[in-house]
Structures are given as C-alpha cells and as structure tokens.
Amino acid sequence: MTKKIAVLPGDGIGTEIIAEALKVLDVLKQDFGLKVETETALIGGAAYDATGTPFPEATLHLCRAADAVLLGAVGGPKWEPLDYSLRPERGLLGLRAELELFANLRPAILYPQLVAASTLKPEVVSGLDIMIIRELTGGIYFGQPRGRRVNDKGEREGFNTLFYNESEIRRIGHIAFQTARKRNRKLCSVDKANVLECTELWREVMIEVAKDYPDVVLTHMYVDNAAMQLVRAPKQFDVMVTENMFGDILSDCAAMLTGSIGMLPSASLDKNGKGMYEPIHGSAPDIAGKQLANPIATILSVAMMLRYSFNDAANAERVEQAVTRALDTGYRTADIYSEGTRKVGTTEMGDAIVAALRS
Ligand code: NAD
C-alpha cells in the first residue's frame, strides 16, 4: 500500500535540505520499488507569514492523515520579536504535542571518514555509536504554570515548571529498554535526582521498568556528570535516556562529537510507531541560501523513517550506504570539510548521494 509522507520544509536551510531528501525519495520510488507519495505543507515562520500562525490547522490535518512526517527546520531572527505563542518554534512544539510524539531517538554516530572533523581527539571518538533517547512531550518545555510577571515590588520574574507523571516516565522507559535490547543491552538513565524531586521520581520509575528487562544493565548518572563524560569518554555510553531539556542539551553535545550537527538525524515516535523525522539542527539562518547546508542529517532522517515507520530496512540501508559512499568518494560540505577532500555545496552533495544510490 502506498504510504503518505507529510513534508514540512519550514524556514532557513529547511527548504534547501528537504529538496535534497526528496531527490533521494524519488530515486527510491523510481528504482527500488518504494511506494510513497508526498504532500508539502507550511510550518514555522513560513506558515506565520502566509497564514498568521506558525501551526496552521491544514498542516495538522495533513500530518494526522499521513503515515510519517518529514520536517526541515523552523525559526529565524525575522520572527524573534513575535510573542512566544506565534514564534516558529511553537509550530514544532505544537506538532510534537498534537501527534503525541513522546519518544525522540537521536543516534550520534561518527563516520570513520569524518574523524578529522571532530573537535575531539581521534582515539576518544573513533567508532562512536550512541543512541540518545529524549522524552519529547513533557518536562519543563510544556509544564504549567509558566510565564513572566512583575511582582509586587515591581521586579520582573520568569518561571517554568518541570513536571512528569509516572506514566510519561514509564512509556519512555519502555522505549529506551527496548532500544537497548536491540543494541548492547546497556542503558544509562540521566537525571538530577540529588536536587530535583521530579527527576527523583524519574529514577524511581526507571528502576521499576527495569524489572521487565533483566537482560539490560541499567545505570544512572547526574546530568552534569553526563555532560562531562560525553566529552571525556563518550564511548562508555550505548543508549542514554533522559527528560526533555536534559536531552535537548546532551544530544547537541553528542552531535559535536561526530564532527557536525549537519550529520545527525532524529526520529520522534508516538506509541504506534508513527513518526516525525528531522535533522537535529535548526534553520541555520547564518548559512541559509548560500549552498552551505549539509543535507546529510535530513537524508539520514529519511533512512530512519524507512526503518522505523515503514519497516523497510533494505531501503534504509541503501540510503545509509549511499551516504557512506559519497563520503568515501571525498565529497564534503563546508561543515565537514578537511584538507584533501572535495568541498561541495548542498545540491552537489545531494547529487553525489543520489548518484551513489543509483550506482
Ligand atoms: P542551528 O542548529 O540552526 O545552527 C547552529 C550552527 O550550526 C550554525 O552555525 C549553523 O550554521 C550550523 N548548522 C546547522 N545546521 C547545519 C547544516 N545542516 N549544515 C551546516 N551547518 C549547519 O541552531 P541556532 O543557530 O541556535 O538556531 C537557529 C534557528 O533555528 C533559531 O530560530 C532556533 O530557534 C531554530 N531551531 C530550530 C530547530 C528545529 O527546527 N528543530 C532546532 C534548533 C533550533
């Protein structure tokens, strides 16, 4: 049966990188029997400009009806003066919440061809392959009450709430243990249980969930130590699971171990495995429109979509191998360029991957 993909390019480099991902999907359709159709919709700043809201109803309808969502990125300085409720990022947070995409899977893999692009020593990062699982629809990004006010002394105050109930923790726990089972059966749960009651509960529930997975070794680490360990000795980790904000920060940190944020895909799944797939980076307004964006994170997000939502490991591997071959041939966008390789723009990198797919 033909699957439907909702495509949301968004803002900044979003449109450029999505164009390359669509080229890859076209080849899979033409040459490898993939049965998908795509439909594009607005989100973020582009949606605000066209409709007055960063998250139009029509976009939500399309995403609900689709089997999977492919997203570029949202945001940019143009929309920063807007009220929070109208900012591009609200579109993305709204979509994650409406579709109940509570499990964010972020692999951080260092390609051997890019060891030189990492800021860390080769012996620290070579062979790195971590999966960070971030809770995506709870925690401080969504907790109520939130806001700003002026107190009775005339002083401005800002406040947010870190909140989780046990079922939210339990369901991400199960995803994490099941993922660990498919890898090396090692799971590190990251919290700040020594200071925050909410994450004390997090730890308690993780220990309870662990009883269903006696074959997986569960360890715990405070988030400050986890940040330090990620840059000190990242290969000690296999699967990490953590709450929304800690995961946001740690996964960007892990991204840099791999050389560039432009290399890393992500999947955000609901309880039925329906997912939204997007690069972990943002809309990179500083390089938008300059052919400097690396499209690989988005193309690898397509591979994750094939694997997790469409159960199509063969085509997922084809895409991953095509990326490897393009890197082997020496193609590099500016963010991963090193001496002796061939610097190319966004489109040319997409073309190289498409050519590798067809070869
Ligand atoms: P960013 O990820 O957009 O950029 C950080 C740095 O990485 C920049 O120097 C950028 O040029 C570089 N970079 C990012 N993607 C790249 C790619 N594919 N190829 C090469 N270099 C790349 O983060 P930021 O600058 O903090 O945020 C810019 C805007 O993006 C903001 O409006 C922010 O809110 C938004 N944002 C959106 C998302 C999302 O849509 N999921 C995520 C993070 C930030």
Residue range(s) defining the domain that contains residue 157: 129-257
Identify whether residues 181 and 294 lie together within a single domain.
Answer: no
Amino acid letter for position 101: L
Write the DSSP assignment of 111-138 as a string of letters. Answer: -GGGGGGSSS-HHHHTT-EEEEEEE-SS
pTM as predicted = 0.90
Identify whether residues 214 and 297 lie together within a single domain.
Answer: no
CATH code, 159: 3.40.718.10
Question: Above 90 in pLDDT, residue 118?
Answer: no
Minimal CA–CA distance to 319: which of 336, 330, 303?
303
Identify whether residues 155 and 226 lie together within a single domain.
Answer: yes
- Whether residue 192 lies in the annotated active site: yes
Rounded CA-CA distance 226/38 in Å is 39
* Band (342; pLDDT cuts 50, 70, 90): very high
Pocket lined around ligand 1, Cβ cut-off 6 Å: 13, 73-76, 89, 92, 261-262, 278, 281-287, 293-294, 297, 335
Identify whether residues 155 and 251 lie together within a single domain.
Answer: yes
Question: How far, in Å, from the CA of 112 to the mean position of ligand 1?
Answer: 24
User: Burial of 334 by CB count in 10 Å (0-12 exposed, 13-18 middle, 19+ buried)?
Assistant: middle
Ligand 1 pocket: which of 106, 114, 281 to mutate (most atoms within 8 A of CB):
281
Question: Above 90 in pLDDT, residue 75?
Answer: yes
**Arithmetic mean of pLDDT, 217-234:** 97
* Band (156; pLDDT cuts 50, 70, 90): very high
Is there a domain that residue 317 lies in?
Answer: yes
Identify whether residues 253 and 139 lie together within a single domain.
Answer: yes
- Whether residue 141 lies in the annotated active site: yes
- Whether residue 35 lies in the annotated active site: no
- Provide the residue count of the chain: 359
Considering only CA atoms, which residue is closest to atom 5 of ligand 1? Answer: 284
- Whether residue 248 lies in the annotated active site: yes
Identify whether residues 214 and 243 lie together within a single domain.
Answer: yes
Phi, psi (rounded to 5 degrees) for 305: -60, -45
Specify the pairing of strand 103-109 against strand 129-135: antiparallel
Rounded CA-CA distance 190/24 in Å is 36
Cβ contacts of 52 within 8 Å, gap of 6 or more: none
- Whether residue 11 lies in the annotated active site: no
Is there a domain that residue 114 lies in?
Answer: no
Question: How far, in Å, from the CA of 343 to the mean position of ligand 1?
Answer: 21
Rounded CA-CA distance 267/202 in Å is 22
